[in-house]
Amino acid sequence: MNTYPISRYPVPNLNDLPGDIRARILEVQEKSGFIPNVFLTLAHRPDEFRAFFAYHDALLEKQGGLTKAEREMIVVATSGANQCHYCVIAHGAILRIRAKNPLVADQVAINYRKADITPRQRAMLDFALKVAQESHAINQADFEALHAVAFSDEDIWDIGAIAAFFALSNRMANMIAMRPNDEFHLLGRVPKGA
């Protein structure tokens, strides 16, 4: 295990955290086998931590017109454009797992236009990148392009809101130099039981 710092800011000790935050973190650890660094590093600010994960869960864990793998594709594509270590590497792992595809995360992170995805997913990522990079120019034609591949207005809100939320998340991670856990690099690359 390396000893690189995981944040520019102090990282709280689990035992010093408010109960609700500690509980949330222990739950994640139980499920993942390790504590993703985003939990420890953002816990430096408990109120912001709570709002951040409430927002995250509202967008990434919900049911709807997008699969969970598609939601992660949006994260990986926009985080690649924003050059965010944490989000590309951590959510790349989640994308591999949710899509059951060991290749797609690297592809989407580097250049989603050439990834092994459907034309509908390609349209989804075109819009997500527009939200990420030039939201001032979004117009009715963008909505129509998504309607044409059977996304509803509520789906479009989901796509855009995920891109917008990671506009925040990428900037926080870049500002505090959040480091992804080493484990993420390999997760989802090798079939279980292989």
Q: Catalog residues that contact a copy of itself under the rule CB under 8 A.
A: 2, 4, 8-9, 44-45, 47-48, 50-52, 54-55, 58-59, 80, 82-85, 88-89, 102-103, 106-107, 109-111, 113-114, 116, 131-132, 135-139, 143, 153, 156-157, 160-161, 163-165, 167-172, 174-177, 182, 185-186, 189-190
Give the shortest CB-137-to-a copy of itself separation in angstroms. 6
How many angstroms separate the CA atoms of 22 and 39, rounded? 10
Distance in angstroms (rounded) separating the CA atoms of residues 73 and 90? 12
Residue 30 or 161: the one with the smaller Cβ distance to a copy of itself is: 161
Q: Kindly give, in sequence order, each residue whose CB lies less than 8 Å from that of residue 85, ignoring residues fewer than 6 positions away.
A: 173, 178, 179, 180
Q: CB-wise, 16 or 30, nearer to a copy of itself?
A: 16
If you count them, how many residues does the chain have? 194
| Shortest Cβ 93–a copy of itself spacing (Å) | 11
How many angstroms separate the Cα of 109 from the Cα of each of 79, 106, 115, 140, 155?
7, 5, 9, 27, 22
Residue with smaller CB distance to a copy of itself, 35 or 161? 161
* DSSP line for 111-123: HGGGSS--HHHHH
Cβ atoms of 77 and 129 within 8 Å: the answer is yes
Distance from C-alpha of 152 to C-alpha of 108, rounded to nearest angstrom: 23
Of the pair 67, 135, the CB lying nearest a copy of itself is at: 135
Q: What's the min distance (Å) between Cβ of 121 and a copy of itself?
A: 15
Report in angstroms how near the CB of residue 26 gets to a copy of itself at its nearest: 22
In the complex, minimum distance from the CB of residue 182 to a copy of itself, in angstroms, rounded to a whole number: 6
Closest to a copy of itself by CB, 29 or 143: 143
